[in-house]
Amino acid sequence: MDAAYISALAALAGSAIGALASFATTWLTQHSQERATLLVQDRARREALYGEFIREASTLFGDAFRHELDDPAKLVNLYALVSKIRLFGEPETLKEAERVIWRIGETYFSPNKDLSAFADISHANDLDPLRDFSSACRAELAIARR
């Protein structure tokens, strides 16, 4: 084989390898960026969902503390949020969300409480049905941050 052919083939092979390496690097970079974007969006969606659940559950728990359940439709939004948590959340977070719903229902059907119960710090666990849910959310979102 002629030396000119060998030089030309070596140059073409070097060009092809360089182009392939450039393509592979670009593809890997794009793939990593897309994955990072999806993870950030997923985390933001969960944060918003859990925040909305906490807001709704807090409102209903406050209402249940002083009133009986006169309109079951009050709970519809909270049940919808739990169903969304079933779609996007981790099992531990879902379990705690279901406990919150159970606790709100239990509070609605128990005798109404006096506001002075809020002043008694020894009942703090009774007055914070969202503590375990918030902890589960925090743990889940910390894992999603990695």
The distance from CA 20 to its chain's CA centroid, rounded to whole angstroms, is: 39
Q: Mean pLDDT, consecutive 10-residue segments, the chain of 146 residues? A: 76 81 85 86 92 94 85 91 93 95 90 68 65 91 71
The alpha-carbon radius of gyration of the chain (Å, integer) is 28
- Taking the model in full, what pTM does it have? 0.74
Residue 84: what pLDDT? 95
Cα–Cα distance measured from residue 131 to residue 121, given in angstroms and rounded to the nearest whole number: 15
Residue-wise pLDDT tens digits, 12-54: 878 888 888 888 888 888 888 888 888 888 889 999 999 999 9
CB 138 within 8 A of CB 98: no
CB 133 within 8 A of CB 100: yes
